[in-house]
Copies of this chain bind each other. A is one copy, B any other.
Amino acid sequence: MNYVAIVGVGLIGGSFGLALRKAGFQGEIAGVSSRPALEAGLRAGAISTGITLEQATSRADLIYLAQPVDRILETLESLGPIAPADCLVTDAGSTKAAILKKASECLASAQFLGGHPMAGKEQRGADAADADLFGGRPYVLTPASRESDRSRSFRSWLERIGASVIEMSAQDHDEAVAFTSHLPQLLSTALAATLDRRSDLKLERVFGAGLLDMTRLALSSPDLWLSILATNKSQVRSALESLILTLGEMRDALQRDALASLFASGGEFASRLRTKTHEK
């Protein structure tokens, strides 16, 4: 792997460039992005040059799509006719089934490997890029075909940047993140929207740190989220319905002073999660 083209030089794309460099990658790292994003990527040292998507297909061994989900779908259409057979295309999109489907429809010859780094932070853009963003975090790969030399090489770079690589099917991934990522986002938004409607109560006067925790995700970019959710509707719908059922149970248990088992089960899961990670 000698030439990497990062399409979408934002937080994830920029961090991938920085992480490759830090891990000792000696080849070229080029960016395909808007002018301000390229400038931020150059400033951060995440890329060393800006190129077009066409140039990327003729030069790159690896094309890394680090765009929002809807933009990844568009880029796959553009890449279809021009990406050569020896090029590996991979992505960092938050849902996988829709992207894999599009890749199998569009990419005639290039190889495709779906990916999803479970890493991020509140800031956006390459100015916030961080060489250690992926360190110790899960990085899901959803291979649709057998490993090639290119995909083996990419995977070994993911390991060198400290990511914890997990293989699963696109369907399993999308079902899991509906619960662990999309549902928490929707819940934070729903909580904040519910409180927003009660301006009669002047709720901003009386709150503690817990409400700040629980409404932090509500600050996320709607643009990013609407395309994530649109490509995972049925899984997200069923996660939402599970939660609505739990809340109905909770309302009844509250009436009967019988909340202890829900608190025990929730506490148990929250603790188990924390044995899997260093809480940041």
Contacts and interface: CB of A to CB of B under 8 A. Distances in A.
Nearest to A275: B204
Contacts of A260: 222, 226
A180 B206 contact: yes
A261 B273 CA distance: 32
A146 interface: no
A233 to B, nearest CB: 6
Nearest to A240: B251
B211 A213 contact: no
A247 B212 contact: no
Contact of A273 (B185, B202, B207, B237): B207
Interface string A112-143: 00000011110000000000000001101000
Interface residues of A: mostly helix, strand, loop or mixed?
Answer: helix
Interface of A: 118-121, 137-138, 140, 166, 168, 172-173, 175-177, 179-181, 183-198, 201-220, 222, 225-226, 229-230, 233, 236-237, 239-244, 246-248, 250-251, 254-255, 257, 259-260, 262-274, 276-277, 279-280
Given A179-B201, A247-B243, A265-B197, A215 B120 contact: no
Quick one: which of A138, A187, A233, A279 has the most chain B CB within 10 A?
A187
9 contacts: A175-B201, A176-B206, A189-B263, A193-B269, A195-B269, A196-B269, A198-B242, A210-B216, A218-B266
